[in-house]
Amino acid sequence: MAQTINTAVTRTDAPRKVTGTATYAADFMPAGMLHGALATSSVAVGTLTGMDISKAEAEPGVLAVFTRETLPDYKSVKGFYAGGPGSASFWPMNESQLRSYSAGPGSASFWPMEDARIRYAGQPIAYVVAETAAAARRGAQLIEATYDIAESTIAMDPADSFVIGAGDDSDGMVITKGDVAEGLSVATQIVDSEYVTPFQHHNPMEMFSATAEWRGDRLTVWMPSQSVKTLRSGIAKAYDMSETSVRVISPFVGGAFGSKAGVTPYTMLTIAAAKAMGAPVRLIVTRPQMYTVATFRPESVQRFRIGADAAGKLTAFEHIEISQTSQFDAVVNPGTHITRAMYACPNIHTEQRLSRSDTNSGGFMRAPNEMQTFFGLESAMDELAIKLGMDPVELRRVNDTDRHPVADVPFSSRSLMESYDAVADSFGWANRTPEVGSMTDGDWLVGYGCATATYPTNILASNARVRMHSTGEAYIELAAHDVGTGTYTIMAQIAAARLGLPVEACDVVMGEGDMPVAPLAGGSTTAASAGSAVHDACLKIGRQIAAQVSAMSEGPLSGVDPAAITLENGVLKASGGQSQPLIEALASTATGQIEVIGEFRHKAMTDQMIKTTFQGGYGSAGPVTPEMAMFAFGAEMVEVRVHRWTHEIRVPRLHGAFAAGTILNRKTAHSQLMGGMIWGIGSALHEVTEIDTPRARFLNTNIAEYLIPVNADVREIRVEMLDERDDYVNPLGVKGIGELGIVGTAAAIANAVYHATGKRLRHLPIRTSDMV
Amino acid sequence: MSHNKVPPRAGISRRSFLGSTGAVGAVLGAGTQHASAQQSDTGVAPNSQPKIELTINGKRRTLTVEPRTTLVEALRDNLGLTGTKIGCNQGQCGACTILLNGNRVNSCLILALSVNGAKITTVEGLANPDGSLHPMQTAFAEHDAFQCGYCTPGQILSAIACIDEGHAGSADEIREYMSGNLCRCGAYPNIVAAVEAVRDGKEG
Ligand code: FES
Ligand code: FES
Note whether A138 contacts B42, CB cutoff 8 Å: yes
- Residues in A closer than 8 angstroms to B154, CB to CB, are none
Confidence (pLDDT) at A608:
84
Over range B121-129, report the average pLDDT: 96
- Which atom of ligand 2 is closest in space to residue B146's alpha carbon? 1
End-to-end alpha-carbon separation of chain B, Å?
34
**pLDDT tens readout for residues A479-490:** 999 999 999 999
CA distance B67 to B51: 10
- A138 in B contact zone (CB under 8 Å): yes
Q: What confidence category does residue B148 fall into, taking pLDDT thresholds of 50, 70 and 90?
A: very high
Averaged pLDDT for residues A707-718: 98
Chain A: give the shortest CA distance to residue B10, in Å: 19
pLDDT band at B38 (very low <50, low <70, confident <90, very high): very low
Mean residue pLDDT of chain A comes to 93
pLDDT digits (tens, 9 = 90+) for A250-291: 999 999 999 998 888 999 999 999 999 999 999 999 999 999
Residue A2 has pLDDT above 90, yes or no: no
Nearest to B15 by CA among A705, A201, A678, A206: A705
Q: Cβ contacts (< 8 Å) between A60 and chain B: which residues? A: 43-46
- Give the Å distance between the CA of B188 and the centre of ligand 2: 9
Which of A10, A205, A284 has its CB closest to that of B151? A205
% pLDDT > 90, chain A: 87
Report the residue of chain B nearest A285, measured CA to CA. B88
User: Cα(A53) to centroid of ligand 1, in Å?
Assistant: 29
Mutate which of A17, A18, A205 for ligand 2? The one with the most ligand atoms within 8 Å of its CB, which is A205
Torsion of CA A497, A501, A502, A505, to 10 degrees: -120
Domain boundaries, chain B: 15-47, 49-88+106-123, 126-204
Beta bridge partners of A15: none
CA of B27 to the centre of ligand 1 (A): 14
So what's the pLDDT on residue B204?
59
The CATH class that applies to domain B49-88+106-123 reads alpha beta
A656 vs A622, residue with greater confidence: A656
- A208 min Cα distance to partner chain B (Å): 10
The CA R_g of chain A, rounded to the nearest whole Å, is 27
CB contacts < 8 Å between A and B, how many?
Answer: 241
Q: Is the pLDDT of residue B41 over 90?
A: no
Please give the pLDDT value at position B101.
Answer: 97
In what helix (H) or strand (E) does residue A679 lie, and over which residues does it extend?
A: helix A666-685
Name which of B32, B85, B178 is nearest A711 (Cβ-Cβ).
B178
Confidence of residue A613 (pLDDT cuts 50, 70, 90): confident
Residues 6+ apart with CB under 8 A from A479: A228, A229, A510, A511, A512, A513, A514, A515, A516, A517, A518
- Going by their DSSP bridges, the two strands A300-308 and A189-197 should be labelled as antiparallel
Cα separation, A631 vs A629, whole angstroms: 7
For the cut 80, the answer to whether the pLDDT of residue B1 exceeds it is no
pLDDT at residue A165, rounded to an integer:
60
**A103 pLDDT above the threshold of 50:** no
- Provide the pLDDT confidence category of residue A692 given band limits of 50, 70 and 90: very high
pLDDT at B29 over 50: no
In the structure, what pLDDT confidence band is assigned to residue A519 with cuts at 50, 70 and 90? very high
**Which of B28, B41, B97 should be substituted to probe chain A, the one whose Cβ sees the most A Cβ atoms within 10 Å?**
B41
Structural contact between residues A658 and A633, judged by C-beta atoms closer than 8 angstroms: yes
**pLDDT tens track for A738-771:** 999 999 999 999 999 999 999 999 999 999 999 9
Q: What topology is assigned to B126-204 in CATH?
A: DNA polymerase; domain 1 (1.10.150)
Residue-wise pLDDT for B76-88, tens only, equals 999 999 999 999 9
pLDDT at A1: 41
Predicted local distance difference test score (pLDDT) of residue A96: 42
DSSP class per residue in A452-500: EEEEE--B--EEEEEEEETTTEEEEEES---SSS-HHHHHHHHHHHHHT
Q: Picking from A608-622, B27-41, B118-132, which range would have the lowest pLDDT averaged per residue? A: B27-41
CA atoms of A232 and A217, how far apart (whole Å): 15
Residue A607 has pLDDT above 50, yes or no: yes
Examine the residue annotation and report whether A627 is marked as an active-site residue of this protein: no
The pLDDT value given to residue B35 = 33
Mean pLDDT for A5-16 is 96
Give me the mean pLDDT over the A364-372 stretch: 95
Percent of chain A scoring above 70 in pLDDT: 95
pLDDT in tens, A654-676: 999 999 999 999 999 999 999 99
pLDDT at A98 over 80: no
Give the strand pairing for A649-659 and A716-721. parallel
Q: Which domains does chain A have, with CATH numbers?
A: 15-76+111-152+205-256+260-291 (3.90.1170.50), 167-200+296-458+625-771 (3.30.365.10), 462-600 (3.30.365.10)
Q: What is the pLDDT of residue A84?
A: 41
User: What does the pLDDT read at residue B86?
Assistant: 98
* Contact yes or no for A243/A236 (Cβ under 8 A): yes
Tens of pLDDT along A375-418? Answer: 999 999 999 999 999 999 999 999 999 999 999 999 999 999 99
Pocket test residue of B85, B123, B185, B191 for ligand 2, highest count of atoms within 8 A of CB: B185
DSSP reduced 3-state for B62 = strand
User: What is the distance in A from the centroid of ligand 2 to the CA of A22?
Assistant: 13
**Mean pLDDT calculated for residue range A229-246:** 91
In this complex, do A19 and B141 lie within 8 Å of one another by their Cβ atoms? no
For B74, which DSSP code? Answer: I
Would the pLDDT of B33 be above 90?
A: no
Q: Is the CB of B182 under 6 A from ligand 2?
A: no
**pTM exceeding the 0.80 threshold for the entire prediction:** yes
- The ligand placed nearest to the CA atom of residue B86 is 1
Q: Which of residues 639-668 of A touch B (CB under 8 A)?
A: 667-668
CA distance linking residue B89 with residue B106, whole number of Å: 9
The predicted model gives A210-220 an average pLDDT of 97
Task: Say yes or no: CB of residue B202 within 6 Å of ligand 2.
Answer: no
Residues in a beta bridge with A213 = A220
Q: Starting from the CA of residue A202, give the closest ligand.
A: 2
Catalytic one among A206, A318, A383, A739?
Answer: A739
ipTM tops 0.90: yes
